[in-house]
Structure 1
Amino acid sequence: MRATRLSVLVAAVAVTIPIAATGCSTAPANDAGSTRDCITDFDASKDYFPDKSTIDEATGLKIEYHNSYQVVTVAHPSQGAPAASYVLVRCGAPAPKLDGALADAPQVQVPVRTLYSGSTTHLPSIAALGAADTVTGVATTGYVSTPEIVERIKADKVREFADAGVVNAEKVIAGRPDVLVTDGNDSPAFGKITGAGIPVIADADWLEENPLGRAEWIKFFAALTGTEKEAANVFNDVKNSYRAVAANLANAPKTNVLLGGISNGTWMMASGDSYFGKLVADAGGTYPWINDPAQGSLQLSVEAVIAKGRLADKWLLSDPTIASLADLYKQDPRYRAFAKPAEQAWNSTKATNAGGGNDYWEKGVLRPDLVLADLAAILHPDLYPNHKFEFYLHLPAQ
């Protein structure tokens, strides 16, 4: 589900943003952003990044350090797009003169003071880094669940910059953020935004099929906000928590599950090598397509799923339109063939807010350990009898 995600370009837009040769203002780009300490006496031999991120789980992110700048490379800024690199320069240092593929790479002064976010999935990471005050714009304010950003929205410190899901270039330019972070889809607005001197860079965490790999993109935001040490601590805690749950279930009997549902006449089923397929496996679940090596979702006939999945023990859904079994059966009468799993049908909509945003797709991206714990409690309730659910709820009959 990508309803809250807007955006990316990048490889298509390569603009160098000028950086002052010495010094930089500590005042925020507008009155809602954060302040920063910049280099005042530049020394070319000094390493200005004492804390450095290492990437262990994510496959689409690379960070290289030089004395006064970092090169952040996103392997696939959008599906099928070539890799894109960004040069993040410590504020106060001179703009590096680069050649080759980096000659025209966008350059951004870091740590950023103000940031516009094209996806709510960015926000928990930024907040966990203690950098919530850098967020001065979000695509759609109503979708936001992260408490620190909600408070900033209420205080009128965050602007909305998308109209019905479409980036409004004029709103971004008027806000003058240090950077616009997008998430995987191009927009005609990006050329105008970069032309106005605002760099546009891509976060592509959603292309990671490994739950921990997706969570590790917190280090992307650490590079922008100068919080590498905090990112390492947060990610290590998430990784250790996730692996502890998985280890607890490693020898548990496998629970047969039914995944997904019907969309446009086709059953959408997570493959075994997909993000959700891996979560199910780590939660001690199994299903007939768990060994399918494809990534993403499989498109199956309803008849094939009835034949292989109608006797599953549990049913895991992620459909914001379903609040009960009655809703399910009204949506498609063929669901009545799944009477057994329907008795234990669970939907990942518990954390949906009044604006339609779902924290499952927000905090759940940074905290796959919490998602895994929910799934573990659904599939193995005997092992987690007192579990407090974060994202999933059991579907009532009516």
Structure 2
Amino acid sequence: MKQKILLLFTVFSLIACKREPKISSSDWTNISDRTQFKDHDGTLDLKSGNFTYNFKKNQIPFKKIILLNASMAGYISELEAENLIVGVSSPEYIYSEKIQNLIKEGKIQNVGSDQKYDVEKIISLKPDAIFTNHIASFDNTYELLKNNGIQVVFLDEYMEQQPLEKTAYIKLFGEFLGKEKEAGAKYQEIEKSYNELKQLALKAKEKPVVLANEMYGNVWYLPGGNTSVAHYIADANASYIMKDNKDEKSLTMSFEEVFAKTNHVQYWVNAGSYASKKEMQKVNPLYEKLEVFNKGRVYTLSGKERQRANDFFESGAVRADLILKDYIKIFHPELLPNYQLTYMKELQ
């Protein structure tokens, strides 16, 4: 399954609060620069990109939710709250076996796809809230849902470039679902694991050079030097070819431009979801010209795939520590001799 690269960026704005005693910014829990929340007197305030929310005591925790993005299923599964889901869109992209079983049992309904949502079915399910990324072309649909008393919550977890900031959204879902303690404990566990792995990586004697991603058509979408991929590679004590770049988005380059940067590359990661190098070469014969393709090691994101679903984009949204562990195993296998890759797979 090829995942589309999202290049959507939103402008951060401040919440307009009702009149109340002034509260210092330290009362807010910061997930990232774009997302903060505050729990006070049983109500929940949320700043998420351009959107602000105030959830009253009688609104949360939510008992019935709909997910319009497969990546958000990772947070729900990590909190063992799958039974709160009443609907999902594009279920074929959801990896969770428990969610898939609930779909088969009819306890979770298919409410459409990112091409068209089944608004009538969504309204009939009477969810307390819908979680989704904001897509401007669906504004009329969102408005219709809101007019039917459904809370639509826009989150930007896919835009976060610091691995642990993406993980931190589990704390927000904990607030939404009445699982604050579980979410806080899970975040601390993942954060501790991530930081310990980062320290372990520093013990490596070598710092290999790394290439990432692949071509779509005639364009190679290289992760910018300030993207999550670049941060993972750096934290795994390896040297990404675009490490000096400061962009948080993908960089578009021609094959020739990338070729010129790959003389000393030893590892190629995130190279799609191919089954073999032969298949990869068949899709794009240019790859054979790369030294890393012929003499280096190539890894795809196909370690946990099931038909069209890929768990890297689901549980991987939460388990930053396991993604980092995969990268360390790839670049410095001697540091994790007994570990088997979770999300990634070497091409033969």
**TM norm structure 2:** 0.88
Q: In the alignment, which of 114, 123, 139 is matched to residue 173 of structure 1?
A: 123
Give the CA deviation at 1:134.
0.9
Which structure 2 residues correspond to residues 300-315 of structure 1 after superposition, within 5 A?
A: 300-315=253-268
SS at match of 1:71: strand
| Residue equivalent to 1:148 | 98
- 1:129–1:222 CA contact under 8 A, matched in 2: yes
Which structure 2 residues correspond to residues 37-116 of structure 1 after superposition, within 5 A?
A: 55=29, 57-74=31-48, 76=49, 83-91=50-58, 109-116=59-66
| Residue equivalent to 1:283 | 236
Q: In the alignment, which of 167, 183, 194 is matched to residue 231 of structure 1?
A: 183
Partners of 1:121 and 1:4 lie apart in 2 by: 14
Partners of 2:275 and 2:33 lie apart in 1 by: 36
**Pairing 1:326–2:278 present:** yes
SS at match of 2:120: helix
SS at match of 1:281: helix
| Residue equivalent to 1:350 | 303
Opposite residue 294 of structure 1, the aligned amino acid is D
Give the CA deviation at 1:127.
2.4
- 1:268–1:298 CA contact under 8 A, matched in 2: yes
Opposite residue 387 of structure 1, the aligned amino acid is Y
After superposition, the Cα gap between the structure-2 partners of 1:194 and 1:57, relative to the gap in structure 1 and judged at 3 Å, is closer
- 1:4–1:143 CA contact under 8 A, matched in 2: no
State the number of aligned residues.
326
Give the CA deviation at 1:138.
0.7
Give the CA deviation at 1:126.
1.5
* Structure 2: stretches of 5+ with no match in the other structure: 13-26
Q: What is the percent sequence identity of the aligned residues?
A: 23
- 1:57–1:210 CA contact under 8 A, matched in 2: no
- 1:190–1:200 CA contact under 8 A, matched in 2: yes
After superposition, the Cα gap between the structure-2 partners of 1:325 and 1:360, relative to the gap in structure 1 and judged at 3 Å, is same
- 1:64–1:72 CA contact under 8 A, matched in 2: yes
Partners of 1:135 and 1:161 lie apart in 2 by: 12
Partners of 2:42 and 2:129 lie apart in 1 by: 19
Partners of 1:275 and 1:191 lie apart in 2 by: 32
Give the CA deviation at 1:149.
1.7
Opposite residue 173 of structure 1, the aligned amino acid is I
| Residue equivalent to 1:158 | 108
Partners of 2:188 and 2:114 lie apart in 1 by: 37
| Residue equivalent to 2:73 | 123
SS at match of 1:294: coil
Opposite residue 54 of structure 2, the aligned amino acid is V
SS at match of 2:305: coil
Partners of 2:114 and 2:63 lie apart in 1 by: 27
Give the CA deviation at 1:386.
2.1
More helix by share: 2
Q: Which structure has the greater CA radius of gyration? A: 1
Partners of 1:293 and 1:324 lie apart in 2 by: 33
After superposition, the Cα gap between the structure-2 partners of 1:380 and 1:209, relative to the gap in structure 1 and judged at 3 Å, is same
Give the CA deviation at 1:56.
5.0
Partners of 2:132 and 2:112 lie apart in 1 by: 12
Opposite residue 388 of structure 1, the aligned amino acid is Q
The runs of at least 4 consecutive aligned structure 1 residues that moved more than 6 Å come to none
SS at match of 2:303: coil
| Residue equivalent to 1:292 | 245
- 2:166–2:318 CA contact under 8 A, matched in 1: yes
**Pairing 1:242–2:194 present:** yes
After superposition, the Cα gap between the structure-2 partners of 1:294 and 1:3, relative to the gap in structure 1 and judged at 3 Å, is closer
- 2:64–2:128 CA contact under 8 A, matched in 1: yes
Give the CA deviation at 1:147.
3.2
After TM superposition, the structure 1 stretch with the greater mean CA deviation from structure 2, 201-210 or 128-137, is 128-137
- 2:268–2:292 CA contact under 8 A, matched in 1: no
After TM superposition, the structure 1 stretch with the greater mean CA deviation from structure 2, 337-346 or 206-215, is 337-346
Opposite residue 88 of structure 1, the aligned amino acid is F
- 2:298–2:347 CA contact under 8 A, matched in 1: yes
- 2:167–2:317 CA contact under 8 A, matched in 1: yes
SS at match of 1:382: helix
SS at match of 2:265: coil
| Residue equivalent to 2:24 | none
- 1:5-49 CA deviation, whole Å, 9 max, x = no partner? 9x9x9x9xxxxxxxxxxxxxxxxxxxxxxxxxxxxxxxxxxxxxx
Name the Cα RMSD after superposition. 2.3
Partners of 1:125 and 1:374 lie apart in 2 by: 20
